[in-house]
Every structure is written in C-alpha cells, then in structure tokens.
Structure 1
Amino acid sequence: MGFTLFRDVFMFTDKRLIIIDVQGLTGSKIEYKSMPYKNTSRFSLETSGAFDLNAELKIWISSEDLPLVSKKCNKSSDVYEVQRYLAARVM
C-alpha cells in the first residue's frame, strides 16, 4: 500500500514503512527512511475537522519521546486505511 502527501511518498510493505521525504524548494534533496514495524512503538492519527482540512499522522520508534514521523495528510489520502494497516502491523 502506498500514497503521496504533497511531494512525499509513503510505502507500506509487509515488513516496514518506507518514506521518501522530498525537501527544499527545488526538491533536489531527498531523505529516505526505512522503519521496520517491529521498532514502531506507537502511532497516532488526528483526523481533519470542519476548519482544518488536513489530518496528521505521527509515528514513534522504540522509546523516543518525539515522533520520528509527523506528516500532514490531505483529504485525498485515506487516513483510515493507513490506520487499519498500521494497527495490523504494529504490535
């Protein structure tokens, strides 16, 4: 399963989450993150409201206090499908 958030790409495989984070104005700087589900300690999903059109996905790794991933999702992304997928993989 995969989806695009603005310029970033999220790919959910059976063993890990791969994030391609396009940075900068020109998009020439790209960060690749590969996170095994076994290292994911928790996640949260804040859905959009009437005035806020974006949902927010946060993913924590191991015992970190701050989330490693914190991304805004637009309405075109099926955030509930992402939540179901992560809930099935994160133990």
Structure 2
Amino acid sequence: MFNIPKFSRVVLTISVNSMYNDIVDFNDKGVVTLGFLDSVLGNASEVNISTVQNEYASILANNERIEKAYRLIRDMFIFTDKRLILVNIQGITGKKVEYHSIPYRAITHFSIETAGHFDLDAELKIWISGTDTPIEKKFNKNLNIYELQSVLATYILR
C-alpha cells in the first residue's frame, strides 16, 4: 500500500516532442488531455490528417488522399481514398516498420459498435476476404465513430 500525498495546487509544465503532438493536447478550456491514456487502454485516437499526409507521403500513391488517421501508441491505421494502411512499428527502436495495405475491394464487410453509457470505447471490426478473423480496433468513446463508418461505406460500397 502506498500513501500518496494530496496537494491543493499542482503546476505542470509539459514540453512536447513533435512526434507526440497528437498524444498531448489541450481542450477548449486549456486543460491538458492525454490521448496517451487512451492508447494505454488500447483505444485509438484520431490524429491530424495533414501531419500524417506529410509523414507518410512516401508510401502513398500519386493523388492518394488520407481521409482519416488514428494512432494507437506507436502504430497507426490510415484510411485513404483508395485503401486502408495498417502501420506496425516494431522493436524497441522503432526502425523496423510493417506497412499492411488493404484495398477497399478486399473488405467483405465491417461493423461498428458505439460506446454504451458505461463503456470506455467504441469498436470497429473489418473482415478481409479469405480470413475468418476480423481486424478489430477500439476507439475513445468521444470519437465520432459514425464519421469513420461513413468513410468506410463510401469506399467499400462503390
């Protein structure tokens, strides 16, 4: 058992490396919000599209446009107008990276599960042709899962 002292006032200064700009944020009241906590809980957080577009330009096709992007600790999943890209950063140094590209035509079906009243997350399941087990991703319940569903439906139902 640990005794944790109570403080009436705590001042916190945060210096954020540009790599973590999408993890630490300030809400409209200037209060720090930590997407990192969602990551620890296994929930993905949405990241800035223009940042991801620049960071992953080398793996995008000509005129390929990112629609939505999410980070889960170091890994990413990126929804473009042509495919779903799963980015798996491996090892301690993160120098080894796997890019798994799934064309939308290979997605047979998908489902979303909204967060309930006491749930901490919303869920997305995507089934790929030739596989029995879906790709499953969890999202912070504050994320609009319907927007993601709309992006998927737009490209899968063509």
Match of 2:86 in 1: 19
Match of 2:127 in 1: 60
Of Structure 1 and Structure 2, which has the larger fraction of its residues in helix?
Answer: 2
The 1:77/1:22 distance shift into structure 2, 3 A limit, reads: farther
Larger radius of gyration: 2
- Cα displacement string for residues 29-51 of structure 1 (whole angstroms, at most 9, x for unaligned residues): 64322100011100111111111
Q: Which consecutive unaligned segments of at least 5 residues does structure 2 have? A: 1-66
Contact 1:47/1:55 (<8 A) preserved = yes
Match of 2:155 in 1: 89
By relative contact order (CA 8 Å, sep 6+), the higher-ranking structure is 1
Of Structure 1 and Structure 2, which has the larger fraction of its residues in strand?
Answer: 1
Q: Which consecutive unaligned segments of at least 5 residues does structure 1 have? A: none
The alignment-based identity, stated in percent, is 49
The alignment's TM-score, normalised by the length of structure 1, stands at 0.79
Distance 2:84 2:117 in 1: 30
The 1:70/1:27 distance shift into structure 2, 3 A limit, reads: farther
Alignment of 1:1-91 (within 5 A): 1-7=67-73, 8-22=75-89, 26=92, 28=94, 30-67=97-134, 69-91=135-157
The alignment's TM-score, normalised by the length of structure 2, stands at 0.49
Distance 1:2 1:27 in 2: 26
Q: Aligned with 1:52: secondary structure?
A: coil
